[in-house]
Amino acid sequence: MIEASIGKKTVRDIDVAGKRVLVRADLNVPLADGAVADDTRIRESLPTLAYLLDKGARLVVCSHLGRPKGVVPSLSLAPVAGRLANLLHREVILAPDCIGPETAAAVASAPDGAVVLLENLRFHPEEEANDPAFAAGLSSLATVYVNDAFGAAHRAHASTEGVAHLLPAVAGLLMEKEVRYLSALVADPPRPFAAVVGGAKVSSKIAAINHLLPKIDILIVGGGMANTFLKATGVNVQASLVEDEQVEVARTILAAARGRGVEVCLPTDVVCADRFAPDARVAVVPADSVPEGFIILDIGPQTVGLYAEALRKAKAVVWNGPMGVFEFPAFARGSFAMARTIARLSAVTVVGGGETAQVVADAGVTDQITHVSTGGGASLEMLEGRVLPGVAALLDSDA
């Protein structure tokens, strides 16, 4: 499964010796006090950058950082440039902007072996608008384009989609790995195949569940969205978060799953609280016995055991969405238990990005998961069966 082709050319398929290569990386990392707080995404970009440098390419790297409206000095990529230089063990020059004559001059004058990092793409609204002139400005800085920003590949922006139509465009090693794992898992998974879905809302996961339903053997539901599923079965979840307009959708999903012989697992006990706060009064109760006025914020210990038992037979697992409000320690146990359960399985295990990747990291089991995606929105769209614009625009492979 893991050896499947992604159907697109990659950095391995092109000659980059002596060529200037524009690499769209995902360096959108958290900052604290003007420094990089978590360099995971920078590290994930290193294999592609190192590969290109070893092949003699002259690198121009671009990325967004945060969601600035115009130029926001606190969202400059300067801290990222410093950390990238330390990790690559070579000079990284931060350009004054991402387009324009000064940036072009900085790229042209960069010494051999140095990497030029363009300033934050989103300082320009034309980036998200996929403005043709902005894309042309970026493409003028290189002769080859490599997209390694899986986390932004579901956005048709100038740097992720527009440039790909102006230069020979291929996938980086991270992009290749992400697409390979996610597409191959959904297309031809080892069986039994389990989908674990969580997070706050059913509405954000309907498309993914419906796309996975014909392919899975086990469906496990947690997080706030489980409240809507519980209500669909007639359970009174009291003041808990519920999408009332999705109750009938949840009922339809449950009927379809059972009609296909899919084992459906919903919480049998829950951790609830009298208010949404880290120091709230907490109770662990059966799912159908939530006290009046209380809200469900995590799955309970009995549910943790039942979910672990259901997953024990799985040969492949995809997990997207936490089991509870893991930001509060009192309601993180279910998510961390799920992370540890999946990490111990003798199965192909794939974890969606965003909050789910954060749970796995906080639980200390990232290295025990087959693949942890770097893109929350992008991975979810792939699980929905959608083609990502940043992938579709790349050159098709010859195979």
CATH of the domain at 255: 3.40.50.1260
- The residue from 354, 375, 376, 390 that is catalytic is 354
pLDDT band at 1 (very low <50, low <70, confident <90, very high): very low
375 given a catalytic annotation: no
Domain presence at residue 131: yes
State whether 319 and 343 are in the same domain. Answer: yes
Which of residues 138, 157, 174 is at a domain's end?
Answer: 174
385 given a catalytic annotation: no
State whether 316 and 262 are in the same domain. Answer: yes
Q: Which pLDDT belongs to residue 353?
A: 78
> Is a pLDDT exceeding 60 seen at residue 56?
yes
Domain that holds residue 219: 181-383
For residue 299, give the 3-state DSSP assignment.
strand
- The residue from 8, 9, 24, 41 that is catalytic is 41
Domain presence at residue 132: yes
Domain presence at residue 332: yes
State whether 128 and 170 are in the same domain. Answer: yes
Q: Which pLDDT belongs to residue 107?
A: 98
Chain mean pLDDT for the chain: 95
State whether 185 and 212 are in the same domain. Answer: yes
Domain presence at residue 2: no
- The residue from 90, 201, 313, 315 that is catalytic is 201
377 given a catalytic annotation: yes
- Please count the structural domains in the chain: 2
State whether 64 and 161 are in the same domain. Answer: yes
353 given a catalytic annotation: no
Which of residues 128, 151, 174 is at a domain's end?
Answer: 174
Helix or strand holding residue 105 (H, E): helix 101-108
- pTM as predicted: 0.91
